[in-house]
Structure 1
């Protein structure tokens, strides 16, 4: 049988949870993971960038804030 509830939570998110990752700049990718910058601001990142170093997260945060 098919799984009817798989991914259902994504449907309530804007753009189905997709966007541009602030760290790697991949477009139309799912942004499901939250990473905290050193300044305490939360960034939504993709699966590839979830394990990125804190320096890359902080650099991306500087670009997003400006």
Structure 2
């Protein structure tokens, strides 16, 4: 028998849980694994980055913040 309920929870998530991983920059990949940064905030990452060290998560978030700030300056 087929398992009709498998993966059903991500049907209600925007883009079916897919996006760009903030750590490895992989596109159109499932972001289903919450990771907690050193400051206590949580971000969603891909399966490969779910075992990444916390320092790598902090670097990725800092890079995202600097990119968004530079876009604000350019606008």
What is the TM-score of this pair, normalised by structure 2? 0.82
Say which structure, 1 or 2, has more relative contact order (CA 8 Å, 6+ apart).
1
Rounded to whole Å, the distance in 1 between the matches of 2:48 and 2:3 is 26
User: Paired residues, what number?
Assistant: 66
Rounded to whole Å, the distance in 1 between the matches of 2:65 and 2:43 is 11
**Corresponding position of 1:17:** 17
Greater shift, 44-53 or 32-41, is seen at: 32-41
Q: After the TM superposition, which segments of 4 or more aligned residues of structure 1 sit over 3 Å from their partners? A: none
**Consecutive unaligned residues in structure 2, runs of 5 or more:** 67-75
**Corresponding position of 2:34:** 34
Rounded to whole Å, the distance in 2 between the matches of 1:7 and 1:35 is 20
Q: CA RMSD in A?
A: 0.9
Q: Which has the larger radius of gyration?
A: 2
Residue 62 in 1 paired to residue 70 in 2? no
Q: Which has the higher helix share?
A: 2
